[in-house]
Structure 1
Amino acid sequence: MFLIKKYISSFLMPFPIFLFLLGIGLYFLYRGNIKRSKVWILGSIIWISMLSYSPFAALLLLPLESTYSKVELTSTPPKYIHVLGNGHTSNPRLPLSSEIALVSLARITEGVSLYKAHPNMKLIFSGYGGYDPVSNARKNSQMAIALGVNPADIILLETPKDTHEEAIASKKIVGDEPIILVTSASHMVRASALFRKEGINIIQAPTDFQVKADSNLWQFPSADGLVRSEAAFHEYLGLAWERVKSMLKKVAEL
């Protein structure tokens, strides 16, 4: 199911959809239907231009990123900080900081900052390795140790493949204890729902904000804008998938 979900979602990203629309246009061009060809090719160009336009990408991300603001711990902090995984590529020729994806670096930095500001806490890192021999949890923990975290204060969850599995694994560790949940701001809405579903009391600590100020409208479409749109698509598809699963579960219980 995990692989099926991954493959389907990869085809529903902005750039694959652009290629699909363009392919239909080229097909009609090949068949000599110039009128339909123009419609589909123009539509594909408008589609990719719109989603590569940073202000439009910001509009997609803003509802996700504005739900939770940065964490402010005013009372006794929880015992655990759970930093969700993202991505890395093990390569001994690279420094550790270059092996880890920028998204993961932002999450690690936030987790370590909270750990250093509030003593006697445990850092949980989660995430499997995919095709990499080293799990994302372990690679992220190596970065945390390099930043001064005591290895004895680190808990590794190396088998979860997605956020749902991370929540299930976390529940087995923390039980009824509250936790600080660290993940990207755009991911926090979905992650919070999944962790609450497992009965975990969480304090949100979003990081890796992509929308940091009002967008300048006088911009050209760019790869950066497309990356932001893809991040938004990923989260909206994830939220839709959770709703579908919930509906299917209710139907099965009838």
Structure 2
Amino acid sequence: MFFYASKILWWLVTPSNVLIGLVVLGVLAQATRFARAGRRMVAAAAVGLVIAGPVPLGIWLARPLENRFPQLTQDMPAPTGIIVLGGSIDQTTTAARRGQVTITAAPGRITEAVALARRYPQARLVFTGGANAVFLRDGLDEAEAARKLFVELGVAPERIVIERESRNTWENAVFSRRLLQPKPGERWVMITSAWHMPRSVGIFRVAGFDVTPYPVDYETRGSASELVLPMLPASRGLDLVDRMAREWIGLVAYRLTGRTDALLPRP
């Protein structure tokens, strides 16, 4: 129930959807006695699009998340395993009839995982994430697509561990711990996008799985200028606001439901 409720609720409160909805309602209201209110809706949506588009609002939302956990050094101790959270592979276009795996988001989760697997040849490579679409789609689920891609990129099949039942980050943590049965003294590196790392670490802690964060796919550069320079094209800014707003809402929701150990988990 939590999975479906979160999907539906997020669709309703996505900033771009809300702004488009205001425009549509405002235009429709022009033909009614609420025309004045309709004009205000359209004006509010226009202002919102400017703030969420060219204004670097997405950068302001992303920076606290991405700066929360430091990057690991190249000489870190060899891990027992490398856990890759799903979210990179487009399950709609990665269909059996195409025969190719399509990566549309967070490619660093995949590329850095393979790079680490080559650097630490004794470590297991774990992918966690199954079919997270609300409606059933054709083709491979994300876990099977990831296995296919890892093998094509040169990772030995016997090193790959697949967890294919999870549909969100909470299930990633719970099902991975159940599958891997981590033991004291083992070192498990977890790879996910830097902006997603605080919530992921908090969830894994509550699930009783101690992991070492390995943030990738940064959206910010860390410079002072990006806090004031406009986001161009504006569609990039709006997309970033959508994704960062979702992450902050997720942090609040998961904290309220006891699925993270803090509102903004820290190292």
Q: Same fold (TM over 0.5)?
A: yes
Does the 8 Å contact 1:79/1:122 carry over to 2? yes
Tell me the residue number matched to 1:101: 104
Cα offsets for 1:43-72 (capped at 9, x unmatched): 111112211226221111111111123222
Does the 8 Å contact 2:53/2:231 carry over to 1? no
Cα offsets for 1:142-175 (capped at 9, x unmatched): 1111111111000000110111001001112142
Q: Structure 1 residues 62, 26: CA separation in 2 closer, same or farther (over 3 Å shift)?
A: same
Q: Using the alignment, how far apart are the partners of 1:54 and 1:116 within structure 2?
A: 41
Q: Write the mapping of 1:137-148 to structure 2, written as runs, cut at 5 A.
A: 137-148=143-154
After TM superposition, give the deviation of residue 197 of structure 1 in Å: 0.8
Residue 243 (structure 2) pairs with residue 242 (structure 1): no
Residue 112 (structure 2) pairs with residue 110 (structure 1): yes
Q: Structure 1 residues 53, 81: CA separation in 2 closer, same or farther (over 3 Å shift)?
A: same
After TM superposition, give the deviation of residue 75 of structure 1 in Å: 4.7
Tell me the residue number matched to 2:265: none
Aligned-partner residue type, residue 137 of structure 1: A
Aligned-partner residue type, residue 48 of structure 1: L
Tell me the residue number matched to 1:225: 237
After TM superposition, give the deviation of residue 4 of structure 1 in Å: 1.8
After TM superposition, give the deviation of residue 112 of structure 1 in Å: 0.9
After TM superposition, give the deviation of residue 11 of structure 1 in Å: 1.1
Q: Write the mapping of 1:1-254 to structure 2, written as runs, cut at 5 A.
A: 1=1, 2-53=3-54, 55-72=56-73, 74-86=75-87, 87-88=89-90, 89-92=93-96, 94=98, 96-97=100-101, 99-103=102-106, 105-129=107-131, 130=133, 131-172=137-178, 173-176=180-183, 177-212=186-221, 213=223, 214-215=225-226, 217-220=229-232, 222-246=234-258
Aligned-partner residue type, residue 101 of structure 1: T
Q: Using the alignment, how far apart are the partners of 1:226 and 1:132 within structure 2?
A: 29
After TM superposition, give the deviation of residue 230 of structure 1 in Å: 1.2
Structure 2 stretches lacking a partner, 5+ long: 260-267
Stretch deviating more after TM superposition (236-245 or 125-134): 125-134
Q: SS where residue 122 of structure 2 aligns? A: coil
Cα offsets for 1:105-150 (capped at 9, x unmatched): 3201011111111220001011112334422112112111111111
Identity %, equivalent residues: 24
After TM superposition, give the deviation of residue 220 of structure 1 in Å: 4.9
Q: Using the alignment, how far apart are the partners of 1:160 and 1:21 within structure 2?
A: 35
Q: Structure 1 residues 27, 167: CA separation in 2 closer, same or farther (over 3 Å shift)?
A: same
Q: Using the alignment, how far apart are the partners of 1:142 and 1:198 within structure 2?
A: 28
After TM superposition, give the deviation of residue 219 of structure 1 in Å: 4.9
Aligned-partner residue type, residue 123 of structure 1: L
Q: SS where residue 26 of structure 2 aligns? A: helix
Structure 1 stretches lacking a partner, 5+ long: 248-254
What's the TM-score, normalizing by structure 2? 0.84
Cα offsets for 1:76-130 (capped at 9, x unmatched): 3221100000132323565635x22232x32010111111112200010111123
Q: How many pairs align?
A: 245
Q: Structure 1 residues 15, 22: CA separation in 2 closer, same or farther (over 3 Å shift)?
A: same
